[in-house]
Amino acid sequence: NAGVTQTPKFQVLKTGQSMTLQCAQDMNHEYMSWYRQDPGMGLRLIHYSVGAGITDQGEVPNGYNVSRSTTEDFPLRLLSAAPSQTSVYFCASSYSSGKETQYFGPGTRLLVL
């Protein structure tokens, strides 16, 4: 099992550009989520999904879109990148909810100039 994979590992964007951060898991987990990690702020929940076709907002959803067309994939889209979105992004998955052990990907470091 590859577990949770994220691509790319590192990305530089210019303000206003759009991009998609990819996340995939091969554990047949229903629950997937996206976090951003900023110094002194811990991890903040952006969006989460409890299954294919079902997504919901977390603590900091503005500027981000998600969709869940398959169980395996949960991409995060930045619609128009801003410097405030410079961060490290982590994807995580678990069997059915946040109450179970979360398995994290290695992260994507994003720099918006």
Partner 1 sequence: GNSVTQMEGPVTLSEEAFLTINCTYTATGYPSLFWYVQYPGEGLQLLLKATKADDKGSNKGFEATYRKETTSFHLEKGSVQVSDSAVYFCAVSGNTGKLIFGQGTTLQVKP
Under the rule (CB under 8 A), what is the footprint of partner 1?
A: 4, 31, 33, 35, 40-45, 48, 50, 58-59, 90, 92, 96-99, 101-102, 104-107
Minimum CB–partner distance for residue 28 and partner 1 (Å): 18
State which residue, 17 or 71, has the beta carbon closest to partner 1.
71
State which residue, 48 or 78, has the beta carbon closest to partner 1.
48
E-only strand ranges, 1-113: 4-7, 10-13, 19-25, 31-38, 42-51, 54-57, 64-66, 76-78, 87-94, 103-104, 108-112
In this structure, the number of other CB atoms found within 10 A of the CB of residue 34 comes to 28
State which residue, 19 or 88, has the beta carbon closest to partner 1.
88
d(CA 30, CA 97): 8
Minimum CB–partner distance for residue 16 and partner 1 (Å): 29
